[in-house]
Amino acid sequence: MLPLFIGVMDQTIVATALPAIAASLGELEQIAWVVVAYLIAVATAAPVYGRLGDAFGRKRMMFIAIAVTIAGSLACATSGSIEMLVAGRFLQGLGGGGLMGLSHALVGQSVPPRDRARFQGYFSTVMVTASVIGPVIGGVLTEHFGWRSIFLINIPLCLAAALLLLRLASYRPPPQPFRFDFPGLLLLFTFVASLLVLVEQVRHFFDMNLPLVAGLLFATLASLLLLYLREKRATTPLLPIPLLSNPNIWRLDLIALCHGGLFVALISLLPIYLSAVREFSPSDIGVMMLPMTGLVGFGSFLTGKLVSRTGRTMIFPSLGLTVCAILLVILAFVVNELSIIGLGFYMGALSFFLGGVMAAVQVTILSEAGPLLGTATATVQLSRSLGAAAGTAITSAVLFTTIAINGTEVSSDVLALLQGSAAAVGDLGAGAEAIRANVASAFAGVFLTIAAFAGLAAYFAWTVPHRRL
């Protein structure tokens, strides 16, 4: 659980430190690459660690992932330029992909199928907690110890994880011929990098470079097609096509993709709503997020218990995602009418039903993976990472497009207001209230978009053939 916590926290811990990093190193226009570089590396590295772990031992590969994370964290902490920091974040992400993917595979290796559900419930709680408190930890450390401390904190955590890992029993897979799929890795990297940079362009909807977007779209589709053709004929493919063509596996990956999109979009855009529309301070927003954090963890824990006791798996995400889709559609029309307490309880209930999704997905995919535990869990990690990036970009584009359609130019002052800047409110003067009303109505489209992700995930959940351990 500790390696998983480190990997997930590193995705979000830099969010609140970005202004301080930009002030220290300059190059404000390049600052987004501090986040994007990590995401590209994580998404690319997860299948690599999974495949190598299946071939040479997952515990051994986890030690390597921890060492790479430490090296990347040191590189980030000692960076003297934004280019060095981006390179350090990429190296850190190469370790983070292993921390997250191998954690789930090691559970599948270490415990019986029925008990996996209970552990996956714990893991889901850890993932959500790390995602939500990452920016809080980043803000506190940056304020009191400087932005470099958000990377240095990884070192004692990684050393503790390595010591705990020593307690796990070693497992040596049976000898088998293995040749690493370097062409597949190159094509996977091209696909992931092109897609995530494309997503970053879509996020800045009104400043898009259309020729660049067209080129990135072509590179994404071409690399995906070539990757499929390569993996079909490779002797030891990075992403085995027979595994991915399993109707359980590909449906579970699509659920992870949609779940990543809806959940990360929700926790990313809800603070913007609370700040821009309800005029909440950062500390008030933190308090409002607590019901979400607590109840998503409780939902995950309860689902793990129920799966362990009954053996039923997909009924819980099937029902949970259906209820979430309905709640999100209702929320789109009543969000501005709810009291603060009512909104807090509403979001808590929504999070409770979301909590059991990934625990059931992980335990089901482990039961389908056979000896390829690492590879199968890595596909879930890859899907969830891509879904999180794409879902946030799509919902952000919906928000800004709706604001523009409603008659408000998306200027730097408006963007600053959305980020909670008091100075921006003063600059906008009397027009601030009209913009708040515009943003409030635009969030109806945001919640409907997130509801569409939930509905799509529910559809795939209901159609997964494997429903009981």
Cα 178–chain centre separation: 31
Of 160, 332, 358, 399, nearest to 259 by C-alpha is 358
pLDDT at 176: 67
**Residue 330 pLDDT level (bands cut at 50, 70, 90):** very high
Q: To the nearest whole number, what is the mean pLDDT of the chain?
A: 83
pLDDT at 411: 62
Of 263, 207, 121, nearest to 411 by C-alpha is 207
Q: Which residues of 36-55 are buried (b: 16+ CB within 10 A; e: fewer)?
A: bbbbbbbbbbbbbbbbbbbb
- Lowest-confidence range among 23-32, 323-332, 438-447? 23-32
pLDDT tens digits for range 42-65: 888 888 888 888 888 888 899 999
Q: How far apart are CA 122 and CA 207, in angstroms?
A: 41
Q: How far apart are CA 409 and CA 403, in angstroms?
A: 8
User: For the whole model, what pTM was predicted?
Assistant: 0.80
Most confident of 21-30, 39-48, 260-269: 39-48
pLDDT at 283: 62
pLDDT at 369: 77
Task: Answer whether 15's CB lies under 8 Å from 46's CB.
Answer: no
pLDDT at 388 over 80: yes
Q: Which residues contact 172 (CB under 8 A, 6 or more apart)?
A: 57
Burial of 299 (0-12, 13-18, 19+ CB in 10 A): buried
pLDDT at 426 over 60: no
Both tokens of residue 72? 């990347």
pLDDT at 103 over 90: no
What does the pLDDT average to over 373-388? 83
Most confident of 101-105, 140-144, 164-168, 429-433: 164-168
Which comes out higher in pLDDT, residue 115 or 184? 184
Q: Which residues contact 297 (CB under 8 A, 6 or more apart)?
A: 124, 125, 128, 129, 355
